[in-house]
Structure 1
């Protein structure tokens, strides 16, 4: 098992993807009017691609068309002091092909917020990294 300088377990790409499958809410990091922006989103994996639904006129839809974005999901138990965090980086694209929209609409994807979410964004996870905190790690004496 590999560890980083803080002693956290470094996860393999396969482990990262398995953890992403277990989550339904993440955060997408994108550029909005030349500034960094972070937005919570519901998501689902399509293979290793991250699929998000948003409104067609949303800031997220406007900002993620053919841009490099980051995506992060995690889970933590503050009492047990355990958890994991996975980050993916890659290009985001708006889905415009009717056949692909139809296929993606069959995925078990729920939008994070209410309102019209008829626009799909797909993030190709070119780089996936993750860390895990195991029980007993980092406990104070």
Structure 2
């Protein structure tokens, strides 16, 4: 996910035409590097900050934040559900062998049904997130 954010940021930086502003005073350069390099690095830093702010304020930047927060929520919800399923399976395995055989088939049916419902719900939510990126007319 970090790769996608970095890729989106690089694309937006390239396309939004960041404006260079006058460099702010920079600390004195160490003797090994000339002051021109430090000035150039300061100018690049300001351009990056300017572009970052323009991206945050743009409609695409806002949509990107929305999509990322939805994906994060979806991720954590899926992890929580998986942990619940694991806890239920562990509790079931701790039952006696005879009870395990008697309840195993019922649990498997229930588990498949719940997984199916959760899959459908998560798929609907994923489709909703994907629709945020769809071109809007």
TM range (shorter): under 0.3
Q: Given the two structures, how large is their TM-score scaled by the length of structure 1?
A: 0.24
Return the index of the structure with the highest Cα Rg: 2
Q: Given the two structures, how large is their TM-score scaled by the length of structure 2?
A: 0.25
Kindly indicate which of the two structures has a greater share of residues assigned to helix: 2
Determine which structure has greater relative contact order: mean sequence separation of CA pairs < 8 Å that are 6+ residues apart, divided by chain length: 1
